[in-house]
Amino acid sequence: MLISQIIRSKPQDGVITISPDATLADAAKLLAEKRIGAVVASEDGVKVAGILSERDIVREIAKRGADCLQDKVSSAMTRNVFGCSPDDKTDVALQTMTAKRFRHLPVMEDGKMIGLISIGDVVATKLSELELEKDALTGMIMGY
Ligand code: AMP
């Protein structure tokens, strides 16, 4: 299965982004409202400036207390963002996320972000693939 197939199966309403100049309080509110675990920081919605995960906010609170919530997203985000291509296999994305220990990957095409996948998306895809394989094998064995 390819990343492009996951992207197509998700709601086509664009990737949720936040300005690097927004505050961590704004970011926490957005993550809670949208029920997501990370948000891409971007000025224009397509060029990736960084990624901010709920873990980054928790780390800052643990270090400096709630005062950090008035700091900018740019102060806590990860700037060296790993992405994937729509033509990559889902297994490769899963390997990257596992090896690098993060759960989100922007999907990039010609330097622009066209989607974002989470480890949950990839695992759900993998489970339905396994289910299909199981049904096919059961059918072969039982002679359906
Ligand atoms: P996550 O597991 O995705 O919630 O993120 C864990 C840590 O990895 C946080 O510090 C994120 O800023 C960072 N992170 C998340 N996704 C990526 C990515 N695609 N590339 C680089 N860093 C990331």
Q: Is 57 in the pocket of ligand 1 (CB under 6 A)?
A: no
pLDDT digits (tens, 9 = 90+) for 66-112: 999 999 999 999 999 999 999 999 999 999 999 999 999 999 999 99
Closest ligand 1 atom to Cα of 59: 10
- State the amino acid at position 20 in one-letter form: P
Q: Which domain holds residue 102?
A: 3-142
Q: How far is the CA of 96 from the centre of ligand 1 (A)?
A: 11
Q: Does residue 12 have a pLDDT over 80?
A: no
Tell me how crowded residue 99 is: count the other CB atoms within 10 A of its CB.
Answer: 9
**What's the number of domains the chain is made of?**
1
Q: What is the DSSP letter of 62?
A: H
Closest ligand 1 atom to Cα of 54: 4
In the block, which residue shows the tokens 């994305």?
93
What CATH number did the domain enclosing 120 receive? 3.10.580.10
Angle formed at CA 98 by CA 136 and CA 92, multiple of 5 degrees? 55
CA 43, 117, 101, 61 torsion: positive or negative?
Answer: positive
CA distances 104 to 23, 41, 68, 110, 135, Å, are 21, 13, 23, 19, 30
pLDDT digits (tens, 9 = 90+) for 132-144: 889 899 999 988 7
Residue to mutate (ligand 1; options 102, 118, 122; most atoms within 8 A of CB): 102
Distance in Å from the first CA to the final CA of the chain: 25
- Position 10 scores a pLDDT of 83
DSSP alpha helix (H) spans, the chain: 3-9, 24-34, 54-64, 90-100, 119-142
